[in-house]
Each structure stands twice: as C-alpha cells, then as structure tokens.
Amino acid sequence: MGIKVVGLILNPALGEKIAPVAREIVRFLAGHGVKVLVLREHARLVGMEGVDRERMREAAEALFSLGGDGTLLSCVPVAAPAGIPVLGINLGRLGFLTELGPEELFSGLEQVLAGRYCTEERLLLWGGIRRAGATVREVVALNDCVVGRGALSRPCRLEVRVDGHCAMKYNGDGIIIATPTGSTAYSFSAGGPVVAPSVDAIILTPICAHSYMVRPMVVGGDAVVEVFLETSVAGFSLSVDGHENLPLLAGDWLTVRRYPRPLRLIRTKERSFYSVLRRKLLLHGIEECRQ
C-alpha cells in the first residue's frame, strides 16, 4: 500500500516564492490519488482549508516539509509522537537535512509514492523544565535544547549533571545539549564536535564558559542530562530547535534525555554523511578526495 494521506508543512516566511510550488505539489499529489492536509496557518498559501496539528498527526501517513532545514525542524512536534516519516523538500539555503531539491522534486515524489524509498532514523531529545518540584513544560527536539541568554543579559551560573553526577559547574552564557544531527548546527558554531548521525550520543557544548577547563563533552545516547540554574537574569531561556523560547528562572532544572521514538527521515537515494558534510558546510582547506 502506498501513501494515501500527506501532511504538507510550509515555511510561510518564503511567502509568494513558496506558494506556487506548494500548489503544484498539491495538484501532483491529488493526481496520484493522495489526499493532502495543510496546517491552518499555512492554508492561505495553498488555497485550501487547513487543519490543526492534532488532526494532521492523527491522519497523515507522511509529512512533506517544504522550505529548508528550519521547516523540517518545525515538523518534529507533529511527527515525533506518532512516528510519522518526514520528507524534506529544500527551497531554502543550506538544506542539510532535506532530501529533494527543486531540480529533482517531482521525480523524487514519484519514487516516494511508488514506495521506492527507505527511512533513516535520527535520535530525538525530550526536555522537561522542572520548577518548584513540578514539571511546567515538556518539549521534543531534533537538533538541540539550548539554555542561553538574551543579547542584553548577563552570564549565569550553571551546574550540569550526567546520570546524577556533576560534570560541569561554571559561569557562562549557557549550554547546548545536541543530538548528532544537531552537532552540525549551533553546537558546531560554538566549537562542539561534528558527530555522525549513526553515533548514539548526546553532545554537551558550553557557550562562552568563563573557564578554559570547561570543554565540550560527548556522552552516551541513554544518558540523562540535568542543568540547574544556580543564578539567572531576565532574558535567560530554553530554545528548542530554534523555534521556541521558554523563559527560565533561577532554581529551574532542565532535564534532557532520549525521546522514546526516533524521527524517521524519508530517503530516496543513498547518502554519505561525509560527502553531505563537505558539500553543505563548504569546509575550506580540505582537499578533494579521489573518486
């Protein structure tokens, strides 16, 4: 049985650039007998009635993300609880996570609808904010959970524990708790290591720690990471895949661990992580490998 219901998630910031492509995709899918669901807030761009996230999660057999990596990241709250596979279609700049570009869009969709694809599993993180003994917010992330400060905030004091043991304690601008997928995002910019997505690990990257002895750390994928804000100031928050900013207060605990289900990315062709890394990040100074 092929895919019969697709949830289409768009990047509305691309506006009129994305609207004609989205409408063409809807027509293409409808011509192949596939029902398309669009989020209510994106419906105007496609000229359809929209649905909420809960309805899309219940009905969609696959999600098609139309935009860039940020758009694909926005699919995680819909896809993760139900284990829905996600196909990334790149109309943005980097497209590190996405699968299809404009030049191969419809041939790639033909493959997917014909069932000629595989799925690649990526580790997800669950995060929970605990305040005064109660969990006040839960989140799911594909790239990272970032405890950080606003532009005008002062540094704060953090204690980071791994499986109940104190691993770091420092003054600084925050910490990035990343998956291997997220190791090439903000963590990479902050000096963290690049970790292949096949590695079962969680990466801890301090942000501007006021000590040379506090360095990035890689822990096991089943580790439980806890961050305690000994001190905090206005502007400190938890950012989740760059899409949410949740205010944090002194005395808050952030617990991060593996989410029970991985994210499943639809792949239509064999991908080498290392060739994608070289091509997308444009790592200057590295000689081309022999074919």
Residues 102, 103, 104, 110: is their CA dihedral positive or negative?
A: positive
Burial of 242 (0-12, 13-18, 19+ CB in 10 A): middle
Angle at CA 242, nearest 5°, toward 252 and 135?
Answer: 25
Query: Residues 181, 138, 218, 220: what is their CA dihedral angle, to the nearest 10 degrees?
Result: -100
Q: Locate 114 and state its tokens.
A: 């014909």
Where do we find the tokens 């005395």? 251
Q: For helices 105-113 and 19-31, what crossing angle results, to 10°?
A: 30
Pairing mode, strands 165-172 and 156-162: antiparallel
Contact indicator for 146, 177 with CB cutoff of 8 Å: yes
Please report which residue ranges of the chain form alpha helices under DSSP H: 19-31, 43-46, 53-59, 69-74, 76-79, 105-113, 186-189, 273-281
Query: Residues 276, 281, 287, 291: what is their CA dihedral angle, to the nearest 10 degrees?
Result: 10
Beta bridge partners of 257: 126
Catalytic residue, chosen from 52, 69, 222, 252, is 69
The number of CA neighbours under 13 Å toward the Cβ of 13 is 7
> Catalytic annotation on 69?
yes
What residues act catalytically? 69
